[in-house]
């Protein structure tokens, strides 16, 4: 058997082998927690290993489209979330300066009628909190401060090498994000591909916003080589923003750092008052490099499997990053409930890779649309989109149906 370890890691560690009849999930993010919950509800003994010293999520919002809400409903988390959510009225694309609408599609009750589930805005920390509570209720053990150094597939289990001991499990799930250690161990080290874009993110108390009223919509403010997304969180008490700009390179070693609010305001100076009022009320922000990765040759290695950003990182231009991880988690648990792990992993990848790849592409294409690439031609594309939404609604719905209408809870796997 081949031992896969991080460079400079010694295997001269006393083995404190844990029970084999369990699944170890690496990463206590949205995808990892959803997978752990789904597996626990199938009867598995599940342990989550999280390298952070405490469970926390950066203050930022998420858009949960119907395809994700259906999974959370099936797992019994939706009711706990209702006290945290905000339901947007419309999905909009507006001009960065004039505020005119290029696109305005109804959400709220319309999306429930069309897709059978709502469209929600939720604070990432609130979703994280409810998933943690549900996992613990179903017996999931969450162990913090654990960094995986290597793994070894053996005949009837996988050994997981940590810094101070070795665990043994039936299966290992890598849900540890775009900088996944499990993916590196499986497929080798590879630097993420910088997409040429960075994102400023933050949440602003409504009480800090003066001089404009932010509309209760999921709004993309499209502008030359940059865009801003605004929407409400926590019942309307906060406004979440994501401000994306194109940059030639990202030289900082950290994938995420605290940003300078004054620089952020300066970069979007002269934009519509709804945008500038939000940024003027912002007290702190984080700056992300938007990175991608090429399509992986495989998502699994014998008893080890990947999900979410570990195998298909998403640009945030379709608001589907969390949704795809949630879908992955459900399909993985569902296939493992029906098949032995080899067949389950094969079916899981066969079902999920084409969908994840298609959503990745659509997200990437939206960047050019939101940033008005091509000057006047870019504006014309936005105008054409608006005309299609008014007079050829089927064109828009056909695109959204593929995303929002997808229901993994009813798939025959």
CA-CA distances (angstroms) from residue 83 to 128, 232, 235, 322? Answer: 14, 14, 8, 20
User: Beta strands of 237-382 (E only): which ranges?
Assistant: 238-246, 256-259, 285-292, 300-301, 304-306
User: What's the CA dihedral at 56, 325, 316, 399 to 10 degrees?
Assistant: -150
Q: By the 8 A CB rule, do 176 and 32 touch?
A: yes
Q: How far is C-alpha 411 from the chain's CA centre?
A: 21
Name the residue among 308, 310, 311, 334 with its Cα closest to residue 322.
308
Q: By the 8 A CB rule, do 234 and 84 touch?
A: yes
User: Among all residues, which ones are annotated catalytic?
Assistant: 231
Give the Cα separation of 174 and 197 in Å (integer): 26
Q: By the 8 A CB rule, do 41 and 75 touch?
A: yes
Residues 48, 53, 55, 59, CA torsion sign: negative
H helices within 260-340, ranges in order? 261-267, 273-280, 321-338
Q: By the 8 A CB rule, do 222 and 245 touch?
A: no
Give the Cα separation of 301 and 309 in Å (integer): 17
Give the Cα separation of 356 and 303 in Å (integer): 22
Number of other residues whose CB lies within 10 A of the CB of residue 224: 14
CA-CA distances (angstroms) from residue 7 to 10, 88, 150, 377? Answer: 9, 47, 9, 49
Q: By the 8 A CB rule, do 299 and 349 touch?
A: yes
DSSP classification of residue 295:
P
Give the Cα separation of 73 and 79 in Å (integer): 8
């Amino acid at each position: 058997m081949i031992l896969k370890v991080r460079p400079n890691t010694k295997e001269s560690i006393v083995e404190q082998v844990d029970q084999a009849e369990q699944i170890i999930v690496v990463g206590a993010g949205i995808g990892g927690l959803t997978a752990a919950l789904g597996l626990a509800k199938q009867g598995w003994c599940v342990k989550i290993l999280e390298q952070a010293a405490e469970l926390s999520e950066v203050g930022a919002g998420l858009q949960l489209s119907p395809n994700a809400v259906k999974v959370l409903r099936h797992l019994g988390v939706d009711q706990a979330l209702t006290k945290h959510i905000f339901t947007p009225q419309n999905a909009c694309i507006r001009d960065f300066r004039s505020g005119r609408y290029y696109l305005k599609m109804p959400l709220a009750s319309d999306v429930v009628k069309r897709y059978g589930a709502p469209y929600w805005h939720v604070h990432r920390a609130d979703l994280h909190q409810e998933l943690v509570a549900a996992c613990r209720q179903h017996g999931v053990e969450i162990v913090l401060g654990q960094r995986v150094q290597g793994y070894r597939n053996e005949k009837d289990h996988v050994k997981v090498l940590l810094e101070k001991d070795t665990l043994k499990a039936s299966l290992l799930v890598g849900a540890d994000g775009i900088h996944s250690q499990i993916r590196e161990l499986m497929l080798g080290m590879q630097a993420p591909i910088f997409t040429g874009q960075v994102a400023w993110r933050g949440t602003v108390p409504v009480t800090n916003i003066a001089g404009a009223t932010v509309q209760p919509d999921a709004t993309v403010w499209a502008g030359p080589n940059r865009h801003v997304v605004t929407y409400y969180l926590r019942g309307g008490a906060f406004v979440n923003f994501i401000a994306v700009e194109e940059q030639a390179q990202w030289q900082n070693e950290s994938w995420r750092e605290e940003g300078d609010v004054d620089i952020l305001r300066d970069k979007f100076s002269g934009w519509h008052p709804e945008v500038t009022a939000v940024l003027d009320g912002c007290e702190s922000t984080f700056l992300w490099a938007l990175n991608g990765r090429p399509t992986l040759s495989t998502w699994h290695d014998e008893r080890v499997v990947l999900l979410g950003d570990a195998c298909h990182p998403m640009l945030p231009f379709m608001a589907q990053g969390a949704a795809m991880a949630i879908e992955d988690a459900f399909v993985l648990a569902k296939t493992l409930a029906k098949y032995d792990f080899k067949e389950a992993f094969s079916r899981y990848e066969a079902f999920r890779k084409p969908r994840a790849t298609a959503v990745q592409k659509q997200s990437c294409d939206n960047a050019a649309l939101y940033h008005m690439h091509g000057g006047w031609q870019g504006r014309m594309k936005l105008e054409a989109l608006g005309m299609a939404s008014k007079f050829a609604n089927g064109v828009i719905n056909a695109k959204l149906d593929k995303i929002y209408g997808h229901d993994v809870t009813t798939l025959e796997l």
